[in-house]
Amino acid sequence: MDLVIRDVRVVDGSGGPSYRADVGIDGGRIAAVVREGAGRRPSGARVLDAGGLALSPGFIDMHAHSDLALLRDPEHTAKVAQGVTLEVVGQDGISYAPCDDRTLGEIRRTIAGWNGGGPGDTSVDFDWRTVGGYLDRVDTAFGGQGTAVNAAYLVPQGSVRMLAVGWDDRPATAPELDHMRRLVAEGLAQGAVGMSSGLTYTPGMYADDAELTALCRVVAEYGGYYCPHHRSYGAGALNAYAEMVALSRDAGCALHLAHATMNFPENEGRAPELLALLDRALTEGADISLDTYPYTPGATTLAAMLPSWANEGGPDATLARLRDPAVAPRIRHDLEVTGSDGCHGVPIDWESIEISGVGDPALAGYVGATVAASARAAGEEPWTTALRLLTDDRLAPSILQHVGHEENVRAIMRHRVHTGGSDGILRGDKPHPRAYGTFPRYLGEYARELGVLSLEECVAHLTSRPAARLRLADRGLVREGYRADLALFDPATVAAGSTFDAPRTLPVGIPYVLIDGRFAIADGHRTDALAGRSVRRTAV
C-alpha cells in the first residue's frame, strides 16, 4: 500500500466507540482497517507510527466563505491546518455564480467584506459565469493542480434574483420566476449540492415565501437541500425558523439551517424552544439538519445592518442614500430606534459592533475597536462614525457582532441533527477567530475540556453527519473503500490557537491531514499538495 498508519486510535465518524487499528491507504482511498489483534497487519511503502494520535475522517465545513480564498491562496492553512478537507461555499444567498458581467460587478462590491474581490482586486481572474464554470476553476486552479481542500457549492438565491429581477423590492413576475427556476436547475445540473439564501441580505430578502417555495421545489427535484440564512436571528428568530421549516416541507425539500444560533438579548436561554420546534418537525417526518460555530459573537458586514429599503437598487443606490442628508436620518432611525430588518429587528447596540476589517488601508485605525469606542475617541455620536466608515470605505467594512449566549451555543450543538460550520470570513485585519479555530475548538474546548460532547460524538457531528446531508457515499467515515480524506490529531492537546486578539493563529495538536491520500499537513507543516477538487451533486 502507499501508506500505513500504524497503531492509531480510530474515531471513525460513526459516533461509536473508538478503537485501535492499523489503517492502510492506497490510490487515494482507505484500503484496509485492521483492528488491533484482528488479523495480519498491512504493510506499505511508507509507515507512519501514530502512537498517541487519533485518526478521524477529515472535517467538513458546512458553512464556509472561502469562495475566492480557494482560488487565491494555494496554502489555505486557515482551513487545512484545522483538519478541514471539504468546504461548502456559495453561502448566504450571494456568491459569484451564476452571474453576468453586470451582476458580477455588483456581487464583488456587495461581498467584498466577506471575500475581498472588490473593484481593483486582481488576485482572482473572474473568467467564469456559471456554477459549472466556477467548479471547473476549482478543479484546474493553480496551473491545473487543484485547490488546497475540496469544495462543494450552493446556488445562491440572491445572485439568481439579481440576474432575473435585479435589486427591486417587489414580487417576481411569472417570466422572472421561470427564469430563476431555470437558473437554479442549471446550477444543480452542473453540480451544485443545493441552494442557499440570505434573507436578511439584499436582494435575496425581497423574495416572498411563494417565490422561495417555487425555487425549493426545483432543488428537491434534483435531490439537493435548501440552506437559508433566515429572516431573523433576533427579535423574530423563532418565527423565522418556523417559516423555513414550513416552507421546506411545503416544497418537499430537505432543509439545512445555516449558523443556527439564538442571538441578541431577546433570545437568551431560548435555545430549547428552537430545539422543540425542530424535534416536532423531525417527528413528523421533516428532513432537517443545521450547523453552528462554537463561539458566541457573529460576523458580517457593516452594510448588512442597514434596513432593506436602504439597500434597494444595489451598492451605488445605497451609497447615494447614505450621502443624502434628507435620507440618512431615516436610516439612522431604523437602525437605532425601530430595529432594522438588516439587524434582525433589534435596535443596534453600537457597543456590540466591532470593526474587523476595512477595504481602505487609511481606515485601518478603526479595526479592533467598537463603533461606540471610536465615536467616544472622536467626540462624536456612533452614527456619525458608522456613516463615515460606510461611505468612505464604500460599504466594505466587516464587523464582529457581540450578541451571543453561551448556554444557547452548547444546547444547540448537542442536538442530533447538528453539524459544524465555521462561517469563517478570512478577510480583514482582525477576522473572527472561528475562521482559523472552529474545528479544533470543538475537539478541545467542547469535547475534552467541557464534556458537552464525547470525542466520538463530536467527530460524528463534524464528519459523517455533514457527509450524509451532502449525499456523499464515500466520505465522512473511516471505512474500507472510502476516500482517504483524514485528520490525525492528539486528543489530549488539540486546541484552537486563534483568539479574538490573535485570530490568525493556527491550531495545535493536528500534526497530519490527508486529502485524497496525500499529506496536506505533515509533521505540523503545510506541504505543497493541492489535492482538492470540486465535489459535485450526484444524481438521485
pTM of the predicted protein model: 0.95
Residues 252 and 239: their CA atoms lie apart, in Å, by: 20
Angle at 419 between CA 17 and CA 160, to 5 degrees: 155
Which among 138, 84, 128 is positioned nearest to 293, based on CA atoms? 84
Can you give the pLDDT of all 540 residues of the chain as single tens digits? 999 999 999 999 999 999 999 999 999 999 999 999 898 999 999 999 998 999 999 999 999 999 999 999 999 999 999 999 999 999 999 999 999 999 999 999 999 989 999 888 999 999 999 999 999 999 999 999 999 999 999 999 999 999 999 999 999 999 999 999 999 999 999 999 999 999 999 999 999 999 999 999 999 999 999 999 999 999 999 999 999 999 999 999 999 999 999 999 999 999 999 999 999 999 999 999 999 999 999 999 999 999 999 999 999 999 999 999 999 999 999 999 999 999 999 999 999 999 999 999 999 999 999 999 999 999 999 999 999 999 999 999 999 999 999 999 999 999 999 999 999 999 888 999 999 999 999 999 999 999 999 999 999 999 999 999 999 999 999 999 999 999 999 999 999 999 999 999 999 999 999 999 999 999 999 999 999 999 998 765
What letter would DSSP give residue 200?
A: T
Residues 391 and 394: their CA atoms lie apart, in Å, by: 5
What letter would DSSP give residue 337?
A: I
Which among 512, 527, 495, 485 is positioned nearest to 86, based on CA atoms? 485
What residues does 20 pair with on adjacent strands?
9
> Do 295 and 409 touch, CB atoms closer than 8 A?
yes
Q: Give the alpha-carbon dihedral of 460, 461, 464, 470, to 10 degrees.
A: 180
Within 8 A by CB and 6+ apart from 330, the residues are none
Among left, alpha and beta (phi > 0; psi -120 to 50; other), residue 83 is left
Pull the grid cell for residue 509: 495538536
Pull the grid cell for residue 522: 505533515
Residues 163 and 99: their CA atoms lie apart, in Å, by: 7
Handedness of CA 136, 141, 143, 148 (dihedral sign): negative
Residues 38 and 201: their CA atoms lie apart, in Å, by: 55
